[in-house]
Amino acid sequence: MQPRRPATIYPMPISEIVPYFQAAGSIAIACGLAFTAVQFRHHQRAMRVANFTKMVELQMHLREMRVRDPGLADVYRDDVRDLNSDRDIREYFFNLMQVSVYEIVWYSYREGVLPADYYHSWERRMRVIAAEPSFRKMVKGRSMKIMHDDFQKFVNELVDTTPERAAT
């Protein structure tokens, strides 16, 4: 009779187990790299939105200056081509300021950093504003300038699909 072999802790030699540990380590590293890539993409998107927001804010400050002092609007004659009074200038640039805020909301949603419910509440509010005669006059004006072409198209469609509010 053969003597019984003592039981071993490992059913297979360590040299056969090592590749499994190496594979597990490699998978963990690959998952870490994938996670880092996703985080980097989200960071880039957030930076794009932050940069866009800052540029629109700067543009809005220039518009705000014209609301406070309509005489500054004459610096660029094309900006006031169809505006005949200080009130017209103030209304025009005030509406542009409103569009600036909405442009930030629109771009943030487009980039996926703003929840849909918040964006849609803004869109409903902008439809109310788009019904106002002063807003429609601003959008249809020959000097109307929105820097982002896609947003310009969006605002034009918003006005075209929203009925004008009757004067009271």
* pLDDT, average across residues 54-81: 88
With a cut of 60, say whether residue 16 has pLDDT above it: yes
Residues 48, 54: Cα–Cα separation, whole Å: 10
If we measure between CA atoms, which residue out of 134, 136, 128 comes closest to residue 156?
Answer: 136
pLDDT in tens, 40-53: 888 898 999 999 99
Half-sphere exposure of 8 (CA within 13 A, CB side): 6
With a cut of 70, say whether residue 81 has pLDDT above it: yes
E runs forming strands in the chain: none
Residues 80, 77: Cα–Cα separation, whole Å: 6
Task: Calculate ∠ Cα 63-66-71, nearest 5°.
Answer: 155
36-45, 70-79, 110-119 — most confident range = 110-119
Task: Calculate ∠ Cα 54-148-56, nearest 5°.
Answer: 20
Q: What is the mean pLDDT of the chain?
A: 87
With a cut of 70, say whether residue 67 has pLDDT above it: yes
With a cut of 90, say whether residue 106 has pLDDT above it: yes
Half-sphere exposure of 35 (CA within 13 A, CB side): 6
With a cut of 70, say whether residue 1 has pLDDT above it: no
pLDDT in tens, 116-154: 999 999 999 999 999 999 999 888 887 777 778 899 899
